[in-house]
Amino acid sequence: MADYGVVALSFMAREPDAFFSAASIAERTGVPLPSASKLLKLLVKSGVLVSRRGVAGGYGLARSPEAISVADLVVAVDGPIALADCLQDDSSGVCDLEGFCAVRRPWQKVSDAIRVALEEVTLADIAGSFPGDDRASWNKDTNAPVPSLNDQTG
Cα dihedral sign, 40-42-47-53 = positive
- In tens, the pLDDT along 67-105 reads 999 999 999 999 888 887 777 766 666 777 777 788 888
Whole-model pTM: value is 0.75
What size, in residues, is the chain?
A: 154
* pLDDT at residue 127, rounded to an integer: 87
Q: Report the 10 Å Cβ neighbour count for 104.
A: 17
Q: Which residues of the chain have pLDDT under 50?
A: 133-154
Q: Which CATH architecture has domain 2-133?
A: Orthogonal Bundle (1.10)
Asked if 85 and 96 touch (Cβ cutoff 8 Å), the reply is: no
The residue extents of the domains of the chain are 2-133
Specify the pLDDT at position 132: 57
Task: Look at residue 97 in the predicted model and tell me its pLDDT.
Answer: 76
- H or E element: which one contains 118? helix 104-120
